[in-house]
Amino acid sequence: MAPSEKAKGPWAIFFGYFRAQLPLFWADSLCAVVQAGCDLAFPLILRTLADGLFKEGSEEILGALWMVCLGLVALYLVRYVCKWFVSKWGHIMGARIESAMREDLFDQYERLSFSYFDEHDTGDLASRLVNDLFDISEAAHHGPEFVIVCGLEIIGSYAIMFSINWQLAGAMALVTAVLVAYNFHANRKMREVFNDNRRKIAGVNVQLSDSLAGARVVKSFANEDVERRKFRRSNDAFLDSKARMYGAMGSYQAMAALLSGILYTIIIVFGGYLIARGQMNATDLATYALYVSLFVSPVETLINFTETFQKARAGFARFLEILGTKPEIEDAPDAKPIDVREGAIRYHDVHFSYHEGEPVLNGLSLELAPGKTYALVGPSGAGKSTTCALLPRFYDVDSGSIEIDGQDVRSVTQESLRQAIGIVQQDVYLFNGTIAENIAYGRADASFEDVVAAAKRAQIHGYIASLPEGYDTRVGERGSHLSGGQRQRIAIARVFLKDPKILVLDEATSALDNESERAVQRSLFELAAGRTTLIIAHRLSTIRFADTICALEDGRVVEMGTHDELLAAGGLYARYQAMYVEGMVGERDADAEVRERGGGVSHGEA
């Protein structure tokens, strides 16, 4: 959906989705009109026959019944075709509208910034994409159909009843007016109930997504019962919300049924009175009763449709809420593609906070020379990951600037900026496809030969070639069929294929064992060659080979230099290394003690 569309009102946006389906909508509407006409015709035909043909002699009746039969068969064949068209193509129309809305919603998700996903649960976002849009689709199809069919049947049957006896029609009008007034009153009361129901089912989806995504953690702590209790809480909340929803619907439909019963009572009692007074005959009353049934049935259909409508209304409000969200990170109106010639990076007096009043970077200034490797070290919360996240504009600085080859990252297009930067993170995400597809994610137009070449440079080709299905091996959800080191090297191959000028390595080896770390480090050193590289790592085996080490504390660079220079300075880096060495010694002592007691394998052997 274009940005100009979002400025329109809710109804304008909703009906905008009908534009592409107008031919199908009009055909569906025409069939609905014919269907309603067929329904209205039968009681009238019966009354005409009762007052005419059925008063003739038996021979005349028997001779004409074949014509009546053929006429009725033709009538109901037409009704059959119209009903089939409305049921099939009406639903297809609704599904197409749902599909278009789902694409718009997904496109909006792709436009939204990191900060939005930091604050919103994926389960809730998925619920809006699936559950809410299905309800909207049902209303989009059945709404026009019910309005046309039921509207014509209500108006047509009432007009015919009025022509038969206006006094009886007047009494019915009073009861119907009470029913309509009650309908508006009940709908206002039910709106909040249905909104709450949408929130509660989203809560179930959130809990389900959280528990399934963390299944390995759950089982490692034997916390299945904890997750069951958490899920039951959200599920019980949804059940309670649904019970209140059905309670409101029950009261609403029961009252509607009572008023419908009053209509039938009026027909029998008042109709009998009019017959007794000679103001109506029995045939007219029987016909009247048929039209009352035809009048009440669409009224009940519209009443029952209230549930679908209220769900759709609540879902559409949530849909508009997402579409109306303005991405925090947007291209400037005059943004141009970035031109990375050398890869020089400059942070100038950068201030940043994720939440107001909680600064993360406080005047950080840093210059990175082209083709050199820089390592960021410092305590947790010093701003290392944030410094890296600001470079590709996952977030925007509060003040100050970040430049690449003299170009402010806010003045260039996000797509070109992120194409120029390759990122390898600790938590590698692999899509549920093949190994080849995951490597090729780095460049959509890559050939199979390019994919293999990238895998060889990442030192993962030998392993892939040993698999029965080779590069067509499926990696499983989030790469669950692979080890940590294998996932990391596939991620590295992905960046090799992308071939960016700038590289960010964010804790790329911290979750690996020693053997896997050494294999991955070799791949990373080759990947970093000739590129401006920014490394975050806690393991000094990774950091010490950087051209320059930058020590961060309280959101700013406090010292810079080589490994030897910073050790000699005796500052933050020296203290950091001392703690690291002390920790490594402690680990070796613990391993030795375990071996002496015969308690198991050593840390290095694990």
| pLDDT on residue 387 | 92
606 band by pLDDT with thresholds 50, 70 and 90: very low
User: How many angstroms separate the CA atoms of 571 and 575, rounded?
Assistant: 6
Q: Which CATH number does the domain 427-499 belong to among 3.10.310.30, 3.40.50.300, 3.40.50.720, 3.30.70.580?
A: 3.40.50.300
What distances in angstroms separate CA 553 from CA 347, 543, 557, one per listed residue? 16, 17, 7
In terms of pLDDT, which residue wins out, 71 or 452?
452
Residue 477: both structure tokens together: 């959800």
Tell whether domain 334-420+500-606 is in CATH 3.40.50.1000: no
Tens-digit pLDDT profile for residues 389-430 = 999 998 999 999 999 999 999 999 998 998 898 888 877 788
Q: Does residue 510 carry a pLDDT above 70? A: no
7 band by pLDDT with thresholds 50, 70 and 90: low
Judge whether 3-323 and 334-420+500-606 match in fold. Answer: no
> What does the buried/exposed string (b/e) look like for 389-419 if buried means 16 or more CB atoms within 10 Å of the residue's CB?
bbbbbbbebeebebbbbebebbebebeebbb
Q: Which CATH number does the domain 3-323 belong to among 3.40.50.300, 1.10.645.10, 1.20.1560.10, 1.10.630.10?
A: 1.20.1560.10
| pLDDT on residue 587 | 47
DSSP letters, 183-202, are: HHHHHHHHHHHHHHHHHHHH
CB atoms within 10 A of CB 332: 11
For the whole model, what pTM was predicted?
0.71
DSSP letters, 525-542, are: HHHHTTSEEEEE-S-HHH
At residue 34's C-alpha, the angle toward residues 28 and 40, to 5°, is 135
| pLDDT on residue 221 | 65
Residue type, 256: A
Tens-digit pLDDT profile for residues 471-483 = 898 888 777 788 8
In terms of pLDDT, which residue wins out, 490 or 53?
490
Tens-digit pLDDT profile for residues 532-587 = 989 887 766 677 778 899 989 888 999 999 888 888 888 888 887 777 665 544 44
Tens-digit pLDDT profile for residues 210-231 = 776 666 667 666 777 877 887 8
Which of 382, 425, 377 lies closest to 542 in space, CA to CA?
377
| pLDDT on residue 545 | 76
Tell me the Ramachandran region of residue 383: left when phi exceeds 0, alpha when psi lies from -120 to 50, beta otherwise.
Answer: left
| pLDDT on residue 513 | 61
**Best-predicted range by mean pLDDT (1-10, 392-401, 507-516):** 392-401
Q: Where are the domains of the chain?
A: 3-323, 334-420+500-606, 427-499
| pLDDT on residue 603 | 33
Tens-digit pLDDT profile for residues 234-277 = 888 888 887 887 777 777 777 777 777 787 788 788 888 888 88
Q: Does residue 312 carry a pLDDT above 80? A: yes
Tell me the Ramachandran region of residue 400: left when phi exceeds 0, alpha when psi lies from -120 to 50, beta otherwise.
Answer: left
